[in-house]
Every structure is written in structure tokens, then in C-alpha cells.
Amino acid sequence: MLIAMTSAKGAPGVTTAALALALSWPRRAVLAELDPAGGDVLAGYGRGEVSAGGLAELELAARRGGPARHLDAHLLRLDAGERVRLLPGLADPIGARHVDWHRLAGALAAVDGGTTDALADCGRLGAEYFPREVVHRSAAVIVVTRSSLRAVRAASHAVAALKVESAGGAGAGPLAAVVVAAGEPYGEREIGDALGVPVLGALPRDDKAASVLSDGAPAGRFFPQSALLRAAREVAARVAEFVARQDALLSPPAETSAPAHRIGHGHGR
């Protein structure tokens, strides 16, 4: 399933959250860096690694063939196995105007025949060349926000804009939020009430672990046990469960299976 992540404004930590969730995802996952302002993961977590693949080259290849066939060749491994992969974003944001988001959304919704989920870091909602078609194609849209009044206010405008688009038949999946640094000062429940969407969890302020993800600081042995990664495992499970539940609700009931089986079916899509 394709899951879009976006922010309202400022830099609440969408890229860091998307990377933490991808590394913690309960199934095989691809983190797709679609922020039209450019990708950050190779320069940050990748510690300056230069990629031969990525979004820009995928687009070039797509113009010669079709992205579904070529997507694999543009993915890099993010973990020791093949469980988590990265579609590196644009090194130069000038390329954003040339990306066919519609075509890319189709490819991301069907990675490995649908057995791998795609988490798309879409950057700031409303930015020029924002990957709107990817949001529309997503099974769920996650708005990432901090917990200050100004952050929540901006996020509520973003949620309202996304709801208007959905009401207009654009077809984006259900909306939810993830809070970065909850309790500064607002808590998850207050933020959920203000936004009018479910809050699927919070990632704590954890400067050390965040700098590993966003700026390539050395990970150290305890990185997997950091507060940020421990919370990311919980939030990833909740986001995956939310998407599967919505998917099951939208699927026509199967004659022979109970609702629990339909949820299982949703996981396998």
C-alpha cells in the first residue's frame, strides 16, 4: 500500500519520521523521497553517499520505457537485508517540474506486486510541484506536526485543505496525524481534537537519534534502542494497522470470510 506523509509548514520532521517509520515498518517497505524541494536521506542518514539511481534517473528511464518495470533498479538498500529500500529523492529540486507524479504513484502503489508498502515523503503540502497525484492515490495520508500552537494551527489548515480535495472527489485515502515532540505543550488527544483526525502516535523529541537519521551522526550501538526508534516501532505498527483497517472497511465483504480475515486480506494487497 502507498502511504503519503506531508507537513503544513516549517520543518516538523516529516523526513526524519518517514525514515524512522520505514526502518521500523512491520512489512517490507520502500521509503520514497518525493519532496519537490529535494531529497535529504542520502546527504543525511546516507552520510553523503552518491547514488546512481533515484527519482531523477527513474524519470529519465520512465520516459524511455515505464517506471513499474524500472523502479527496482533505482532503489537502494536501507537495512542489512532487502526489507527496507529507498527511492532517493531529487538531488536538484529543479527536476521536480519534470516528474510525472501520476505515473510514479501507480508504480509505488504496486511495488513487488503490492507485497511491499511504500511510504512517500511528500514534503510540504502546497509547495510548488507538490506530488498531489501521489497523495490522491494513497491508501492513507499522514500529516506530521509538532505540538506547539503555531504548528497545530498550520497543520489544521493543511488537514482542512486535504479534506476539501477529498470531498472534491480527488480520492485521497483517510487522513491521520503523527506528532513529533508531543507535549510541547499540546498532547496527542488535544491535537487530535484540534485537527479532527485520528492521531496515530507520537515520536518523542530525541535530538541524538534524530541527528543520526537527519544528519548522519554516528549511530552507535544503542541507536536501535533509542527513545525515537522505540516509539517509531509502535507508531509504524499503528499506522500499518490503521491503513489495513481502512482498506478492509473499503473492501466489499467477502462471502466466506469474517471481518478479521478481511483485515488480513488488506495486509496482503
Ligand X SMILES: Nc1ncnc2c1ncn2[C@@H]1O[C@H](COP(=O)(O)OP(=O)(O)OP(=O)(O)O)[C@@H](O)[C@H]1O
Check: CB of residue 133 under 8 Å from CB of residue 36.
Answer: no
Q: Is 188 in the site for ligand X (CB under 6 A)?
A: no
Taking residues 68 to 107 in sequence order and writing x for each that binds ligand X by CB under 6 A, - otherwise, the string is ----------------------------------------
The smaller minimum CB distance to ligand X, of residues 147 and 248, is found at: 147
Q: Which residue is nearest to Mg ion, using beta carbons?
A: 15
DSSP string covering the chain: -EEEEEESSS--SHHHHHHHHHHT-SS-EEEEE--TT---TTTTTTTT---S-SHHHHHHHHHHS-HHHHGGGG-EE-SSSSSEEEE---SSGGGGGG--HHHHHHHHTTGGGGTSEEEEEEEETT-TT--HHHHHH-SEEEEEE-SSHHHHHHHHHHHHHHHHHIIIII----EEEEEESTTSS--HHHHHHHHTS-EEEEE---HHHHHHHHH-----TTGGGSHHHHHHHHHHHHHHHHHHHHHHHHSPPPSS--HHHHHHHHHT-
CB of 253 to ligand X, least distance (A): 39
Taking residues 6 to 35 in sequence order and writing x for each that binds Mg ion by CB under 5 A, - otherwise, the string is --------xx--------------------
Footprint on residues 201-240 left by ligand X (CB under 6 A): 203, 205-207, 210-211, 214, 228
The smaller minimum CB distance to ligand X, of residues 84 and 122, is found at: 122
The smaller minimum CB distance to Mg ion, of residues 45 and 242, is found at: 45
207 binds, among ligand X, Mg ion, none (CB under 5 to 8 A by kind): ligand X
210 binds, among Mg ion, ligand X, none (CB under 5 to 8 A by kind): ligand X
95 binds, among Mg ion, ligand X, none (CB under 5 to 8 A by kind): none
The smaller minimum CB distance to Mg ion, of residues 6 and 116, is found at: 6
Footprint on residues 17-46 left by ligand X (CB under 6 A): 35, 40
Q: Is 14 in the site for ligand X (CB under 6 A)?
A: yes
